[in-house]
A and B are shown apart, each in its own frame.
Chain A
């Protein structure tokens, strides 16, 4: 085909314009350096904070507390669903318009190591606030998790623990039941609930992480520290204790402890909503769940679950994980740093972003705001919830129990999931599902986890 001269020129111009647009578009896709900036002011500006935790209500409270100290820094919080967080954060940070502050986890898909290249080193700012001996004043697990290549890439601000169960005290009272302490008692309690048309222990085995907590608790019942050993590599996932524990999960299902259909359920929203609306009496969640002991938070959560405002509020109580192995080992709790705030090196407001990140995790006011929400434990040593400022559903019963949980977790030694490869986490889910819907032996399922762990290690 031959173009007439004018048309040819137009075609060439169009092609060049297209090429230019394409080049610009591709340059944009490929990232690039941020526009030069002096980092703005440390005491004023607008910053965007992205995270999967806390809830919007809790974040609002934390930001309000921050604004008492820094009224001229506006913090815009964007809560991203946890399952979408890594996928959202990667392109955002690759662009020049990502969040100023982004939260990272201790490991896994949105662990500090993954996003460390985008983060500034917060060591000088933390040193300025807490002094040169700052490491002795904060949770050492957080320092370890967020120090990548000798740079502090995130300011820890929340610690989470797990290992305990949570029960609906009202349901136990209604049927004159005591929290079970052994496997037999657990079976008996569940028989009573089921006889009354209710569920018993409901767990979202389709979700990552929650089933692993249950497996951890069972393993500790057989042999305290076994899960931590497998996690660290000191032990193996193919250890007979893992196999026994996986078999125990099948027993939970066969004996009517675990509700039917758990492998098709998500912990959020399925199990959470069922528990908060009184359909099931017990679940296993971590310390973040104690926020539902707070009347305002529970009311907001119920609204979120779409239930009428007049729905009775449950009395949430912690319960030690029963001694299912019958070996007399006490129930254990395990904890990790749950969240730390990184400051985006491309931010045009680095100084204000640093002020916020460091204030939330390292100032007494910030940590008090975090821990008073009951969503997380403080990472700054010595900060505990101010119970007189927290409105509980049933303070007389809940406060002593929650204080005990905080006390236990302060001294918890074992990690919850720190260092766990995402593939291993998935392999644990696969193994648990295999135990619940197939005839696979516990040992075979345990061997599968070990095989994945070894393959992941070699990659």
Chain B
């Protein structure tokens, strides 16, 4: 515990210290620059682009994952055939390493890849395009991969949360004539609010830390269309050897992650109080 927490705070403090340096990460020469790295970051259009992409990524992946997760959890709580198989299929993407799946997605969306091949076969060849060369399409692809990979976790959380809802309440609603959508909207959704808040916090932090999917599939491009704070930190720290600047972005990422988690938690608590 002492080692774990000590290392954690040491790393944070050390990163904070590095963020005040101009340093290439290897040279013994470390030049103190005060807050220059932070000033530079605020003036860097790539930083704002990365932040914008992160916000869009968070909003879209959260909404779609929550919708899919709750829908799948409800379906699998019903009398569905081969339920165990479905659960396994939904969860498998969670355990697959991005390093192994990224080349598959690159092939799928390549100019002569599977997606365009299928479009040609079904007579929609006019829609075929080099997907990863289109900034908007590339960002949507990155989001879709994240959704594909993370929905399994969201599903498991909702599946467990729905299991905690009193079945008598659900049965009473049925007897009162409530349909599936009404039950989901009026009973299930409020009943899993705590889980949704946890998922929102995890997705927000995950979005801020997003790295492997864009790094391996698009490299942050084209023209920074899929750049995130994680890929930007890697780019400036490794490719540019500007470890001080990378540390400054890391510090901001940490502050944003903690701040976002607090905001989501506080706003949900206030809403709970208001509901009471």
| A residues lining the B interface (CB < 8 Å) | 14-15, 18-19, 21-22, 25-26, 86-87, 90, 93-94, 109, 114-115, 117-118, 199, 206, 208, 259-266, 270, 279, 422-423, 426, 430, 433-434, 436-438, 459
A114-B222 CB under 8 A given contacts A261-B133, A279-B112, A437-B134: no
A426 adjacent to B240 (CB under 8 Å): yes
Residue of A nearest to B10 (CB): A26
B238 adjacent to A264 (CB under 8 Å): no
B238 adjacent to A109 (CB under 8 Å): yes
Partner of B2, one of A14, A422, A430, A433: A14
List of A residues within 8 angstroms of B200 by Cβ: none
Q: What separation, in Å, do the CA atoms of A262 and B241 have in the docked complex?
A: 27
List of B residues within 8 angstroms of A433 by Cβ: 221-223
Residue of A nearest to B235 (CB): A426
Distance from B61 Cβ to chain A, minimum over Cβ atoms (Å): 21
8 closest A-B pairs by beta carbon, nearest first, are: A261-B130, A18-B2, A264-B132, A264-B133, A261-B111, A263-B222, A261-B133, A22-B6
Q: What separation, in Å, do the CA atoms of A263 and B137 have in the docked complex?
A: 13
B residues 41-83 near A (Cβ < 8 Å) are none
Distance from A48 Cβ to chain B, minimum over Cβ atoms (Å): 18
Partner of A114, one of B24, B111, B132: B24
Residue of B nearest to A429 (CB): B221
The A-B contact count (CB < 8 A) is 103
Q: What separation, in Å, do the CA atoms of A109 and B7 have in the docked complex?
A: 28
Q: What separation, in Å, do the CA atoms of A426 and B242 have in the docked complex?
A: 14
Distance from B251 Cβ to chain A, minimum over Cβ atoms (Å): 19
Distance from A20 Cβ to chain B, minimum over Cβ atoms (Å): 10
Distance from B8 Cβ to chain A, minimum over Cβ atoms (Å): 11
A22-B3 CB under 8 A given contacts A114-B26, A263-B221: yes
A87 adjacent to B26 (CB under 8 Å): no
A264-B218 CB under 8 A given contacts A22-B3, A437-B134: yes
B239 adjacent to A206 (CB under 8 Å): no
In this assembly, does B135 line the interface, its C-beta being within 8 Å of a C-beta of chain A?
yes
9 contacts between A and B (CB under 8 A): A18-B6, A22-B6, A206-B222, A259-B111, A261-B129, A263-B222, A426-B239, A426-B240, A433-B221
B6 adjacent to A206 (CB under 8 Å): no
Q: What separation, in Å, do the CA atoms of A261 and B110 have in the docked complex?
A: 8
4 further A-B contacts with Cβ under 8 Å, apart from A26-B7, A109-B240, are A22-B10, A86-B239, A93-B26, A115-B26
Q: What separation, in Å, do the CA atoms of A142 and B221 have in the docked complex?
A: 33
Distance from A112 Cβ to chain B, minimum over Cβ atoms (Å): 12
Most chain A Cβ neighbours within 10 Å, of B112, B138, B239: B239
In this assembly, does B25 line the interface, its C-beta being within 8 Å of a C-beta of chain A?
yes
Distance from A147 Cβ to chain B, minimum over Cβ atoms (Å): 17
Residue of A nearest to B243 (CB): A90
A117-B27 CB under 8 A given contacts A109-B240, A422-B240: yes
Q: Interface readout for B116-157 with A: 1 if CB under 8 Å, 0 if not?
A: 000000000000011111110010000000000000000000
Partner of A19, one of B6, B223, B239: B6
List of A residues within 8 angstroms of B10 by Cβ: 22, 26
B residues 2-45 near A (Cβ < 8 Å) are 2-3, 6-7, 10, 22, 24-28
Distance from B221 Cβ to chain A, minimum over Cβ atoms (Å): 5
Q: Is the interface of A mostly helix, strand, loop or mixed?
A: helix
Partner of B26, one of A19, A118, A434: A118
List of A residues within 8 angstroms of B7 by Cβ: 22, 25-26
List of A residues within 8 angstroms of B26 by Cβ: 90, 93-94, 114-115, 117-118
List of B residues within 8 angstroms of A436 by Cβ: 133
| B residues lining the A interface (CB < 8 Å) | 1-3, 6-7, 10, 22, 24-28, 106, 109-112, 129-135, 138, 218-219, 221-224, 234-235, 238-241
Distance from B45 Cβ to chain A, minimum over Cβ atoms (Å): 10
B2 adjacent to A264 (CB under 8 Å): no
Residue of A nearest to B111 (CB): A261
Q: What separation, in Å, do the CA atoms of A422 and B246 have in the docked complex?
A: 15
Most chain A Cβ neighbours within 10 Å, of B24, B26, B131: B26
A87 adjacent to B238 (CB under 8 Å): yes
Distance from A283 Cβ to chain B, minimum over Cβ atoms (Å): 15
Distance from A362 Cβ to chain B, minimum over Cβ atoms (Å): 26
Distance from B254 Cβ to chain A, minimum over Cβ atoms (Å): 19
Most chain B Cβ neighbours within 10 Å, of A94, A261, A279, A434: A261
List of B residues within 8 angstroms of A87 by Cβ: 234, 238
Q: What separation, in Å, do the CA atoms of A26 and B135 have in the docked complex?
A: 42
B22 adjacent to A264 (CB under 8 Å): no
A459 adjacent to B22 (CB under 8 Å): yes
List of B residues within 8 angstroms of A26 by Cβ: 7, 10
Distance from A453 Cβ to chain B, minimum over Cβ atoms (Å): 13
List of B residues within 8 angstroms of A93 by Cβ: 26
Q: What separation, in Å, do the CA atoms of A259 and B240 have in the docked complex?
A: 29
Residue of B nearest to A116 (CB): B27
Distance from A117 Cβ to chain B, minimum over Cβ atoms (Å): 6
Residue of B nearest to A259 (CB): B111
Q: What separation, in Å, do the CA atoms of A389 and B47 have in the docked complex?
A: 53
List of B residues within 8 angstroms of A263 by Cβ: 133, 221-223
List of A residues within 8 angstroms of B110 by Cβ: 261, 264-265, 270
Partner of B240, one of A15, A199, A423: A423
Partner of B3, one of A21, A86, A117, A259: A21
A90 adjacent to B222 (CB under 8 Å): no
List of A residues within 8 angstroms of B133 by Cβ: 260-265, 436-437
Most chain B Cβ neighbours within 10 Å, of A18, A109, A264, A426: A264
Partner of A25, one of B3, B109, B131, B224: B3
Residue of B nearest to A197 (CB): B112
List of A residues within 8 angstroms of B132 by Cβ: 261, 264-265
Q: What separation, in Å, do the CA atoms of A137 and B136 have in the docked complex?
A: 54
List of B residues within 8 angstroms of A422 by Cβ: 239-241
B2 adjacent to A86 (CB under 8 Å): no
Distance from A84 Cβ to chain B, minimum over Cβ atoms (Å): 8
List of B residues within 8 angstroms of A438 by Cβ: 223
Q: What separation, in Å, do the CA atoms of A262 and B224 have in the docked complex?
A: 15
A437-B135 CB under 8 A given contacts A114-B26, A263-B221: yes
B2 adjacent to A15 (CB under 8 Å): yes
List of B residues within 8 angstroms of A270 by Cβ: 106, 110
Q: What separation, in Å, do the CA atoms of A265 and B134 have in the docked complex?
A: 12
Distance from A116 Cβ to chain B, minimum over Cβ atoms (Å): 8
Distance from B107 Cβ to chain A, minimum over Cβ atoms (Å): 9
Residue of B nearest to A22 (CB): B6
Q: What separation, in Å, do the CA atoms of A15 and B6 have in the docked complex?
A: 11
